[in-house]
Amino acid sequence: MGTKTWPRMTQLATLALGLGVAVTVAWGGEQLGTVKSVDQSEKTVLLADGTRLWLVPGLSLDLFTQGKRVKVVYDEREGKKWVRSVEATN
């Protein structure tokens, strides 16, 4: 490879990495809501506004109780909101 090829490859790699990070951030989110129901078998939570959330492996459904207000941080993949973290709110 010539000396001009390396800077070009470095620029392309940096651009690809930057776009990957931007897409990851764009598909995540945060939501406040009240728990309407919990489906133990599907490991999903339904909020009062109709939003369905799926729990990533290792996250306990015990954190969700009907009527409890929660703040969740999620990643959106394949049209589903996968909860990464949850905390109770007032």
Residue 37's contacts (CB-CB under 8 Å, 6 or more residues apart) are 45, 46, 66
Indicate the domain borders of the chain: 28-88
Q: Which CATH architecture has domain 28-88?
A: Beta Barrel (2.40)
Burial class of residue 10 in the structure, from the number of CB atoms within 10 Å of its CB (0-12 exposed, 13-18 middle, 19+ buried): exposed
Lowest mean pLDDT among 3-17, 37-51, 73-87: 3-17
Higher pLDDT, 77 or 3: 77
What pLDDT digit, counting tens, does each position of 3-42 carry? 555 566 666 666 555 555 444 444 689 999 999 999 999 9
Percent of the chain clearing pLDDT 90 (strictly above): 56
